Structure 1
Amino acid sequence: MTVAASGPVFSLREIPFSYRGSWFGFSPVVAEKTYAEDVHLVSHQTGMHPILRLIPTAETTVTATPHQLTWSNDDGRIDLAYETPDTVRVKGRGLGLRLLAADPVLTPFSGPYFYQDPVDGSYVFTVYQTGRRYRITLLGGRAEPLGTQALGTAERGLVLSGEWEIAVEEYETARAPYAGADAFEQVAKAARAEFDAFAAAVAPWRSDRTPAAELAAYVLWSATVRPAGFITRPAVLMSKHWMDKVWSWDHCFNAIALADGLPELAWDQFRLPFDHQDAAGALPDSVTHSEILYNFVKPPIHGWTLRHLPAAPDRAETYRLLERWTTFWLDARRAPGGDLPHYQHGNDSGWDNATTFDPERVVQTADLAAFLVLQMRELARLAPDPDTTARWTEQADRMRDALLAELWDGERFVARGAHSGRTWSSSSLLDLMPIALGEELPHPVRAALADRIQRHLTAFGPATELPTSDHYQDDGYWRGPIWAPSTVLIEDGLRRAGHTDLADKISARFRALCEKSGFAENFDARTGEGLRDRAYTWTASAYLILAAAHERRNST
């Protein structure tokens, strides 16, 4: 990543070019770990779907900044900018462009149907996969249609030449003919102003000391979509690559990163999964445009999250939603007569394949109890009356005491099979997550956890599996790589537990990791290489959270 006068310059193989509110972006990434030779318009309505290929008529260099995408060579250039969330303008000088269907096959149930609209002369792709239309209006130059209204494998699209300009729109069934009046330069300037205002709001503290802050802000801004389908509010997707959902703990970190500068948008992030809370009080595992999954849940870090958000716009409603979510764990995830809750699978913890779950799948873990203690503390704070406050305080004390009595063996926290009752320890960082309780833990427990966390710390941050473990894998998902959420939770817990030196070290190493390797879903703990999805918003948020806190500490 480099920084130019127009903002950070980034690779489309790492981060898609998009715009706040849009459901589509531009990228060569067309599926999970699948990279095309050409830049594609990729829509995320009903899933991740490559729609159009944008192929310059000569070899070019592609440059992306937050407000403009450019193909260029010695003879000319093509520029693309968003005019609105569903409309882009594209302008060419000295370079032609082939704009083709990404899917070359048309059947009644797949591929695009391409035709020229007799109403306004525009060219339209209607696409089965997204259920949307993509209209191309020629504003200047020449357009040669290819394969209009053709079935089978005929190449379909346009070839643009001369000094040309087009508008490309994503819409449903019909809309008035395109009538944009602004020059392309004005469109690009307005897009830059939109992003600059967002960056100024979420990272007003950014400077040369925080070189990745502006790009982190862009990752959040560009991954935001407007309400549509099951997305009930303006939402920051986890990515506009293939991880194009909102998972019910990922959203918490995005909410915190937005909280100081854009509190309304932050609360939208926090509340979105609660819009789909089920009858039992559980949050869905994930929500996206056309799908809600309830087969798993995610860990109850929402009480911890509320500590980092501004005052709730509706305190009573926030209490009600959090109470239902907490009661789900107390009623549906505790065996009769037991004090400690259980996960039904590693996926429920968010640490899908952590080694903690190797012996058994239905497990009482210390992290879950710790998160619920924090959540019940928050319910006590939000409670409508003193009696309710006292009830939640008593329940939080009882669970904390059970955690220490039943899962602390004098040296470390263990996990316990919900069916078998047997206990075991692992070399997973998950076992150390009760540090999130911070000052609530006895001093010897804090010290022991801090010592074990130190053993997980690599040059880039805390590895999720002990690097000396036989189970460690460089690209093992939760069996080795560094992740943003565990880093932020641990850093916060250590700081509140009084281990500020270790917290400072973790913060500094993770921030340096993002500045070196971007905002990947996770990172190789030995090399720092970014792994999996490379434009993950909770990683960008973690950088912003840690950088903002570091800047605040240094300014006092």
Structure 2
Amino acid sequence: MTVAASGPVFSLRDIPFSYRGSWFGFSPVVAEKTYAEDVHLVSHQTGMHAILRLVPTAETAVSATPHQLTWSGGGGRIDLAYESADTVRVRGRGLGLRLLAADPVLTPFSGPYFYRDPVDGSYVFTVYQTGRRYRITLLGGQADPLGAQALGGAERGLVLGGEWEIAIEEYETARAPYLGGDTFEQVAKAARAEFDAFAAAVAPWRGERTPAAELAAYVLWSATVRPAGFVTRPAVLMSKHWMDKVWSWDHCFNAIALAEGLPGLAWDQFRLPFDHQDAAGALPDSVTHSEILYNFVKPPIHGWALRHLPPAPEVYPLLERWTTFWLEARRAPGRELPHYQHGNDSGWDNATTFDPERVVETADLAAFLVLQLHELARLAPDPGTSARWSAQADRMRDALLAELWDGEKFVARGALSGRTWSSSSLLDLMPIVLGEELPRPVRAALAARIERHLTAFGPATELPGSPHYLDDGYWRGPIWAPSTVLIEDGLRRAGYPDLADEISARFRALCEASGFAENFDARTGEGLRDRAYTWTASAYLHLAAAHERRRRS
């Protein structure tokens, strides 16, 4: 990533080019870990679907900034900019473009149908996979259609050459003919102004000491979609690559990053999973355009997150139901401590904590609930209710220390077997989030163990010397943003600001060097998996903003 006068320049293999509110973007990433040679229009309605291939007629280099995508080569260039969330403008000067269906085969249950609309003369792809239409209106130059009205296997699309300009729209069944009006330069300038305003709101402190802040803001801005399907609010997806959902703990980190500059959007992020809270009070595992999953849940970090958000008393009943779910549906009879039913419930899907058994009482879960019970006490409508929640928080904390602290470390316990064990997972050290609530010897022991996990780039999720450590092992080694933020915050409140500062500095430097990947190789710092992950960008913004506040105070 470099920074030009027009903003950060980034690779489409890492970050898709998109626009706040849009459900589609432009990228060579067409499926999970699948990279095409050409840039594609990729939609995230009803899932991730590559719709159109954009193939220049000469060899080109592609560059992207937050407001404009450009192909250069063959003595000419093609520019693309968003006019609105569902419309882009594309123009060519001395460079042609083949705009083709990504899937050349039309069947009764898949593929695109391509035709010319006799009403306005536009060219339209109607696509089974998204259930949407993609209209191309010629604004200048000439277009030669390929495969219009063809059935079965055929190349479908337009060939544009010379000096030309088009508009591409994603819509449902019908809309008025595209009229345009603004020049391409005006469209691109307006898109830049939209992003600049967003960046100024979420990172007003950005500067030379925070070189990745603007790109982090772009990752959030471009991954935001407008309400549609099951997405009930403006939502920051985890990515506009293949991780195109909102998971019910990821959203908290995005809300925190947005809270100071855009509190309304921040609350939309926090509230979205609660719009789908079930009758038992549980939050869904994930929400996306056409799917809600309840087969797992995610950890109750929401009380912790509320400490970083502006006041909103109306969240009390939502948080109460979510907490009651854990107290009633996830505690075995006679037990004080709640349990996860699988590693997926913890968010640390394959952490070694869950190797011996899957239905487990863990220290991190109890610690998160202690914080959530304290938050309920703070938000309670009356003193009596507040006192009741405070008492429950004290009982949960006392049970955590009595039942899972063995004098040196926290252990996990099988909810069915009753046996206990320890692991080399950073998950077992997450009770540091309780900060000053922990006895001093416990804090000291956790801080010392956290230091053992610390690599040059941040805290590895599995002890690097463990036989179970894997460089690309998901939660068995790589560095993740949420664990980093939670531990940094807990250490600071536990009285270890120097160690917290070091973790913050290493993670910020990691993002500045390696971008905003889903996770990172703890030994090399290489970005892994999905490379445009919003909670990673949010973690960078949160840590950088806090560092700048401390530096200026």
Q: TM-score range by the shorter chain?
A: over 0.9
What is the match of residue 175 of structure 1?
175
Q: Render the CA deviation track for 1:1-56: whole Å, top value 9, x for unaligned.
A: 00000000000000000000000000000000000000000000000000000000
- What SS is found at the alignment partner of 1:188? helix
Name the CA distance, whole Å, in 2 between partners of 1:543 and 1:384. Answer: 35
What is the match of residue 191 of structure 1?
191
Identify the match of residue 498 of structure 2 among 486, 498, 501.
501
Give the unaligned 5+ runs of structure 1.
Answer: none
Name the CA distance, whole Å, in 2 between partners of 1:464 and 1:161. Answer: 52
Name the CA distance, whole Å, in 1 between partners of 2:251 and 2:199. Answer: 19
Q: Which amino acid aligns with 1:327?
A: T
Identify the match of residue 530 of structure 1 among 521, 527, 531.
527
Q: Please give the TM-score of this superposition, normalised by the length of structure 1.
A: 0.99
Residue 74 of structure 1: how far off its partner (Å)? 5.2
What is the match of residue 276 of structure 1?
276
What is the match of residue 254 of structure 2?
254
Q: Which amino acid aligns with 2:425?
A: S
What is the match of residue 291 of structure 1?
291
5 Å matches for 1:129-278?
129-278=129-278
C-alpha change, 1:160 and 1:74, in structure 2 (3 Å) is closer
Instruction: Kindly indicate whether residue 118 of structure 2 is the aligned counterpart of residue 103 of structure 1.
Output: no
Name the CA distance, whole Å, in 2 between partners of 1:152 and 1:369. Answer: 57
Name the CA distance, whole Å, in 2 between partners of 1:261 and 1:112. Answer: 42
What is the match of residue 342 of structure 1?
339
Name the CA distance, whole Å, in 1 between partners of 2:109 and 2:395. Answer: 57
Name the CA distance, whole Å, in 2 between partners of 1:69 and 1:477. Answer: 32
5 Å matches for 1:310-389?
310-312=310-312, 315=313, 317-389=314-386
5 Å matches for 1:390-539?
390-539=387-536
Name the CA distance, whole Å, in 1 between partners of 2:229 and 2:520. Answer: 32
Q: Which amino acid aligns with 2:464?
A: P
- What SS is found at the alignment partner of 1:64? strand
Give the unaligned 5+ runs of structure 2.
Answer: none
Name the CA distance, whole Å, in 1 between partners of 2:406 and 2:230. Answer: 45
Name the CA distance, whole Å, in 2 between partners of 1:74 and 1:128. Answer: 35
Q: Please give the TM-score of this superposition, normalised by the length of structure 2.
A: 1.00
Kindly report structure 1 stretches of 4+ aligned residues shifted beyond 6 Å: none
Name the CA distance, whole Å, in 1 between partners of 2:113 and 2:217. Answer: 37
Name the CA distance, whole Å, in 1 between partners of 2:51 and 2:83. Answer: 19
Residue 172 of structure 1: how far off its partner (Å)? 0.3
Q: Which amino acid aligns with 1:182?
A: D
What is the match of residue 123 of structure 1?
123
What is the match of residue 27 of structure 1?
27
Name the CA distance, whole Å, in 1 between partners of 2:443 and 2:180. Answer: 61
Q: Which amino acid aligns with 1:67?
A: H
Q: Which amino acid aligns with 2:424?
A: S
Q: Render the CA deviation track for 1:276-313: whole Å, top value 9, x for unaligned.
A: 0000000000000000000000000000000000111x
Q: Render the CA deviation track for 1:461-485: whole Å, top value 9, x for unaligned.
A: 0000000000000000000000000
Name the CA distance, whole Å, in 1 between partners of 2:364 and 2:427. Answer: 7
Contact 2:58 2:74 in 1 (8 A): no
Name the CA distance, whole Å, in 2 between partners of 1:318 and 1:84. Answer: 33
Contact 2:518 2:532 in 1 (8 A): yes
Contact 2:21 2:224 in 1 (8 A): yes
- What SS is found at the alignment partner of 2:152? coil
Residue 162 of structure 1: how far off its partner (Å)? 1.6
Q: Render the CA deviation track for 1:398-452: whole Å, top value 9, x for unaligned.
A: 0000000000000000000001100000000000000000011011000000000
- What SS is found at the alignment partner of 1:244? coil
Residue 536 of structure 1: how far off its partner (Å)? 0.1
More displaced 10-residue stretch of structure 1: 344-353 or 69-78: 69-78
Name the CA distance, whole Å, in 1 between partners of 2:300 and 2:179. Answer: 48
Name the CA distance, whole Å, in 1 between partners of 2:75 and 2:417. Answer: 72
Residue 337 of structure 1: how far off its partner (Å)? 1.1
What is the match of residue 73 of structure 1?
73
- What SS is found at the alignment partner of 1:164? strand
Residue 73 of structure 1: how far off its partner (Å)? 1.6
Q: Which amino acid aligns with 1:488?
A: V
Name the CA distance, whole Å, in 2 between partners of 1:12 and 1:492. Answer: 33
Contact 2:370 2:394 in 1 (8 A): yes
Instruction: Kindly indicate whether residue 48 of structure 2 is the aligned counterpart of residue 48 of structure 1.
Output: yes
What is the match of residue 555 of structure 1?
552
Q: CA RMSD in A?
A: 0.4
The sequence identity of aligned pairs, in percent, is 90
Residue 153 of structure 1: how far off its partner (Å)? 1.3
Name the CA distance, whole Å, in 1 between partners of 2:292 and 2:154. Answer: 37
- What SS is found at the alignment partner of 2:204? coil
Name the CA distance, whole Å, in 2 between partners of 1:295 and 1:248. Answer: 12
Q: Which amino acid aligns with 2:402?
A: A
Q: Which amino acid aligns with 1:169?
A: E
Name the CA distance, whole Å, in 2 between partners of 1:310 and 1:211. Answer: 27
Q: Which amino acid aligns with 2:187?
A: V
Name the CA distance, whole Å, in 2 between partners of 1:178 and 1:95. Answer: 24
